Amino acid sequence: MDHPDIERTMLTGYPKPEYLDYERHARQCDVCKAGMNEGYLLETSGDCYCSSDCTAKDLPEMDELLQDGTLFWTDWYYEI
Ligand SMILES: [Zn+2]
């Protein structure tokens, strides 16, 4: 690791879009913009969220969506 900006990015968890390539993140959280390779996916819109906290901010009805299978936890390692 010899790129100070990437180190800072990893510490804060809020990578700039141009750094996502370096870190090889397949997706970006729609709420906090953190790069991620696994998280919640809302099937109907394709929106992704890194954590249940972020999901709940965007989707107050998160529990119902999880129950009916519209929202689920997945990963995108196969894309990187
Ligand atoms: Zn997030």
**Helix, strand or coil, per DSSP, at residue 42:** strand
Range of the domain at 45: 4-79
- Structurally, the chain folds into a number of domains equal to 1
Half-sphere exposure of 35 (CA within 13 A, CB side): 19
- Find the 69 Cα to ligand 1 centroid distance in Å: 20
- Find the 61 Cα to ligand 1 centroid distance in Å: 17
Give the residues of the chain that fall short of pLDDT 50: 1, 3-6, 8-9, 11, 20
Token pair for 35 = 């790069």
Phi, psi torsion values for 39, nearest 5 degrees = 170, -170
- Find the 30 Cα to ligand 1 centroid distance in Å: 7
pLDDT given for residue 16 in this prediction: 53
